[in-house]
Amino acid sequence: MDFQLSDDQRALRAGVRELLAGRFGRDRMRAALDAGTGIDRALWRELGEAGFFALRLPEAEGGVGLGLPESVLLFEEVGRSLLPGPLIATHLAAGPVKGAAQGEAVVAVLDPGQSVAHLGEADALLVLGPGGAPRDAARVRDAADPVRSIDPFTPLWRIAGPVEADDPLPGGERLRDEGALLAAAEQLGSAARTTEMAVQHAGTREQFGSPIGSFQAVKHLCAGMLVRTELARCAVYAAAVTADPVEIAGAKLLADDAAVRNARDSLQVHGGMGFTWESDVHLHLKRAWLRSGQWLTAAAAEEVLAGDLC
């Protein structure tokens, strides 16, 4: 047993972090927010060239041939960076949906009963549930209404009627679990990032003649954030290694909790600045809220985990 990152995994994580910092650093992120331009197709293709979507496709099929743990490290970095778009669905669709692996096609996900994110720009849809068949996005779009989304980076569409499924995908039943795991990884990255932001602010912002991070009331909020992050990290990484549905449910539950609560505590530590549009904390919180409702909700995860006790 050696439950630590290997040297290759550390290198992969550093590489992805560098790539995202270069292509979607804070300035680019805020510019994209102000412009409201949606998915950057050029960046999407760059990610495709870097192997972002084809990470787990076999090398014989033009992929990178890595596994779930590596995907988790990649999506943890996505969560840190606030990079928008249906990256998880496109990653899962690499292979069955033409162009997804290369970043040519944008694939969104349709979970019956839920709003669909990025439907307006999607070329194809993964339908969750039995089969998880890809669908023609244009046909679904005709029967959908745009929602004014709480997350400025994530346009949402409400589907009016039932959606018929196309032919099921091979291995489609694993889609929800894998999507939940990768969403948990994004939540983990976000939780770690909002912790860093809070610590950075608390260490420099002075009140009463001292950095506010020297006050226990603030210090204890930050400590709580780290504890949530590290417990979620172990749950997410272990679930990536075992791919066990119960372990994935636990990982999603704890990572959702860490992302949402850490963003809220980080906002609190930032004080009045945390309540402004200019701060990035609200962007993390809003995305964390959305992800909590996607792939596997807390209620569903708790039922899976309760079922495991029988």
Partner 1 sequence: MDLAYTEEEEEFRARLREWLAAVLPRLPAKPGPDDWPGRRAYDTAWQRMLYDAGYAGLHWPVDAGGRGATPTQHLIFLEETERAGAPYVGANFVGLLHAGPTIAAEGTAEQRARWLPPVLRGDEIWCQGFSEPGAGSDLAALRTRAVRDGDHYVVSGSKIWTSHAEVADWCELLVRTDPAAPKHRGISWLAMEMDAPGVTVRPLRTLAGSTEFAEMFLDEVRVPVSHRVGAENDGWRVTMVTLSFERGTAFVGEVVACRRTLAALAAEARRGGRWDDPVLRRRLGRLNAEFRALWRLTQWNVSEAQGTGGVPGTGGSVFKLRYSHARQELYEAAAEVLGADSADLDREWVLDRLSSLSYTIAAGTSQIQRNLVAERILGLPKGR
Q: Give the interface with partner 1 as residue ranges (CB under 8 A).
A: 1-6, 9, 69, 195, 199, 202-203, 210-211, 213-216, 218-220, 222-224, 226-227, 230-235, 237-238, 240-242, 246-247, 249-251, 253-254, 299, 301-310
Minimal distance, residue 226 CB to partner 1, in Å: 6
Longest dimension (CA), the chain: 66
Distance of CA 189 to the CA centre of its chain: 8
| Partners of residue 136 on adjacent β-strands | 124
Q: Give me the sign of the Cα torsion angle 166, 177, 297, 24.
A: negative
CB of 163 to partner 1, least distance (A): 28
Name the residue nearer to partner 1 (CB basis): 110 or 235. Answer: 235
Q: Nearest-CA neighbor of 232 among 206, 207, 251, 217?
A: 251
Q: Are strands 206-207 and 210-211 parallel, antiparallel or unpaired?
A: antiparallel
To partner 1, the closest distance from the beta carbon of 252 in angstroms equals 9
Q: How far is CA 274 from CA 187, 209, 285, 304, in A?
A: 19, 21, 11, 36
- The residue (of 10 and 139) whose beta carbon lies closer to partner 1 is 10
Query: Given the complex with partner 1, which of 9 and 102 has the nearer CB atom?
Result: 9
Q: What is the closest distance, in whole angstroms, from the C-beta atom of residue 221 to partner 1 in the complex?
A: 9
Closest Cα to residue 45, out of 97, 85, 84, 101? Answer: 101
Q: Which is nearer to partner 1, 214 or 276 (CB)?
A: 214
Report d(CA 183, CA 187) in Å as an integer: 6
Q: Assess contact for 284 and 194: CB atoms under 8 A.
A: yes
Q: How far is the CB of 272 from partner 1 (least distance, A)?
A: 21
CA end-to-end span of the chain: 28
Closest to partner 1 by CB, 46 or 196:
196
How many residues are listed for the chain in this entry?
310
Of residues 35 and 309, the one with the C-beta less far from partner 1: 309
Residue with smaller CB distance to partner 1, 110 or 260: 260
Q: Tell the smallest beta-carbon distance from residue 200 to partner 1 (Å).
A: 10
- Residue of 190, 232, 181 lying closest to 79 (CA atoms): 190
To partner 1, the closest distance from the beta carbon of 270 in angstroms equals 15
Sequence-distant (≥ 6) Cβ neighbours of residue 227 within 8 angstroms: none
Based on CB atoms, which residue is closest to partner 1, 110 or 240?
Answer: 240
Do strands 124-127 and 134-136 pair parallel, antiparallel, or not at all (unpaired)? antiparallel
H/E stretch holding 117: strand 116-117
CB of 178 to partner 1, least distance (A): 17
